[in-house]
Amino acid sequence: MSLALAPLDVSVEIEANLPCRKFDPDLWFSDSPAQLELAKSLCGDCPLRVECLAGAVDRSEPWGVWGGEIFERGAVVPRKRPRGRPRKVDVARDAELAVEVEERLAANGLETRSSVRLAA
């Protein structure tokens, strides 16, 4: 009787190198816009970014950073606004960012109109 070695579980090695596993998980669910932007930037080099984003869209994640995008109330938002009334410049910038988010989702093969709701 010979003993065969089990193949290495590559997914364990990949999971250990994911940014959301290396850094504080609270960073991806912060209330601070600056921390959420940091979390988004950390997702940029993640090998599972597209799959993470697709899964979050499918599940309609209520909040947090998933696949390099910010979800709030089940919708992808271009950025998290700080508390208080937004300045007019911020409202105009949000409109530009919404277009960028839509383009990024489309580039990842996600149809924005049917699969995810974009917050205004």
Question: How much is the pLDDT for 113?
Answer: 45
Question: How much is the pLDDT for 91?
Answer: 73
Q: Is 74 annotated as a binding residue?
A: no
Question: How much is the pLDDT for 2?
Answer: 46
What are the sequence ranges of the domains in the chain?
17-106
∠ CA 74-115-100 to the nearest 5 degrees? Answer: 80
- The helix (run of H) or strand (run of E) holding residue 63 is strand 63-66
* Local mean pLDDT, 10-residue blocks, the chain (120 residues): 46 70 91 92 90 92 93 85 71 80 81 50
Q: Is 102 annotated as a binding residue?
A: no
Q: Is 20 annotated as a binding residue?
A: yes
Question: How much is the pLDDT for 101?
Answer: 82
Q: Is 46 annotated as a binding residue?
A: yes
**Rounded to whole angstroms, what are the CA distances from 76 to 13, 16, 32, 100, 112?**
30, 27, 16, 11, 9
Beta-bridge partners for 75: 72, 117
Model's pTM, two decimal places?
A: 0.60
∠ CA 50-112-69 to the nearest 5 degrees? Answer: 45
